[in-house]
Amino acid sequence: MTIKIDKKAIRQDRILRICMKTGIPLSVLALISLWVGQYAGSPALGKVFVVSVFFAIPIGLLYNVRFMMLSIREVRRQQAEQRQSD
């Protein structure tokens, strides 16, 4: 039996939803402030970049770790069901 992970069901996790709703805008803000600050030569936008990246990277890491934890949990659950049915 093939083990399939339902990514849509995993993404419905509350913590993952919070990470997506905060991390994506922070990442976009970081990229925009980096590009505009570089072209405009604005040190203030460089500070905005540093602050937004300071928060965006840990949020992205948290998202990835949580997603992997939930995926592994789902695989183990399916394997246990498969062993019980055998």
Q: What confidence tens digit (pLDDT) does each residue in 35-62 have?
A: 999 999 999 999 999 999 999 999 999 9
Mean pLDDT of the chain: 92
How far from chain centre, in Å, is Cα 79?
26
Model pTM? Answer: 0.84
Alpha helices (H) along the chain: 7-10, 14-40, 43-85
* pLDDT bracket for residue 81 (50, 70, 90): confident
Are the CB atoms for 3 and 79 separated by under 8 Å? yes
- Answer whether residue 2 shows pLDDT above 80: no
pLDDT at 1: 58
What proportion of the chain, given as a percentage, has pLDDT over 70? 99
| Strands (E) located in 1-81 | none
Are the CB atoms for 75 and 5 separated by under 8 Å? yes
